């Protein structure tokens, strides 16, 4: 299982774009990358996932370079309500569980 | 509402007592997972059901823990003879297919053992 490394914490001002980068040097060919968001006292919430290049949805964008050894979650124009912990996960296709690290604690400042 | 309900939201129990938590996923969730999360850490996998069959258990799931998913619908997680180290948030998640569309987590049950 590929280990992921992401910053422990980040601060950002409201209205700015936030990019959280995750390293996964040992990602395997059949693995994909997925990101979850977790607010205090709630379960994680699926944000976005991808295999390569760029994926965009109504919440975020995910950029994955050709070598797939890293990925960047991009949150456009963050608001105070985006303050949360963001987890980057590498998932084996057909895996029976998800492995969460400690995530990145994003604090949005007014 | 995430579609996965957990009950109770909070539970305080004395050391040595047994506790049981319930998880109600949506009907489409053929897969059901239990995770445990302690303060400042990410969720840790405990066990996984494919419909009613429990297919995988973590080494974290000691003999005092047992989980069931009768009829492949709701699930229960029981902890016998609770210890202070069992204090944590217990999360349930459901998924369709092989989980390729992501997991839907409930809001969890926070257990405090005093």
Q: Which residue in the set B43, B48, B99 is minimally distant from A44, CB to CB? A: B43
Q: What is the mean pLDDT of chain B?
A: 94
Q: Which region holds residue B108: left if phi is over 0, alpha if psi is between -120 and 50, else beta? A: left
| Contact call for residues A77 and A15 (beta carbons, < 8 A) | yes
Residue B111 near chain A (CB below 8 Å): no
Q: Which stretch of A79-83, B43-47, B95-99 has the lowest confidence by average pLDDT?
A: B95-99
> Does position A86 have pLDDT exceeding 90, yes or no?
yes
pLDDT range class, residue B3, cuts 50, 70, 90? confident
State the Cα–Cα distance between residues A73 and A67, nearest whole angstrom. 16
pLDDT at A1: 67
pLDDT range class, residue B114, cuts 50, 70, 90? very high
Residue A5 near chain B (CB below 8 Å): no
pLDDT tens figures, A32-65: 999 999 999 899 999 999 999 999 999 999 999 9
State the SS3 of B29-87: CCEEEEEEECCCCCCEEEEEEECCEEEEECCCCCCCEEEECHHHCCEEEEECCCCHHHC
**Which of B45, B67, B102 has the most A C-beta neighbours within 10 Å, making it the best mutation to test the interface with A?**
B102
3 state DSSP class of B96: coil
Q: For residue A15, what are its two tokens?
A: 């209205």
pLDDT at A3: 86
């Amino acid at each position: 299982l590929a280990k992921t490394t992401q910053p422990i914490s980040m601060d950002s001002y409201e209205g700015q774009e936030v990019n959280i980068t995750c390293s996964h040097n040992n990602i395997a060919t059949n693995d994909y990358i997925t990101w979850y968001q977790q607010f205090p006292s709630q379960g994680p919430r699926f944000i976005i996932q991808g295999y390569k290049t760029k994926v965009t949805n109504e919440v975020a964008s995910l950029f994955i370079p050709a070598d797939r050894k890293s990925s960047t979650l991009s949150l456009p124009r963050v608001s105070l309500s985006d303050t949360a912990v963001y987890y980057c996960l590498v998932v084996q296709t057909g895996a029976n569980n998800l492995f969460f690290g400690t995530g990145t604690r994003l604090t949005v400042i007014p | 509402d995430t579609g996965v309900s957990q009950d109770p939201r909070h539970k305080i129990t004395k050391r040595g007592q047994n506790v049981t938590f319930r998880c109600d996923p949506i009907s489409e969730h053929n897969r059901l997972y239990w995770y445990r999360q302690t303060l400042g850490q990410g969720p840790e996998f405990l066990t996984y059901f494919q419909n009613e069959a429990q297919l995988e258990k973590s080494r974290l799931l000691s003999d005092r823990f047992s989980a069931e998913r009768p009829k492949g619908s709701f699930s229960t997680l029981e902890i016998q003879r609770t210890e202070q180290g069992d204090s944590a948030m217990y999360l349930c998640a459901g998924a369709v297919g092989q989980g390729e569309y992501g997991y839907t987590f409930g809001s969890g049950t926070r257990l405090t053992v005093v």
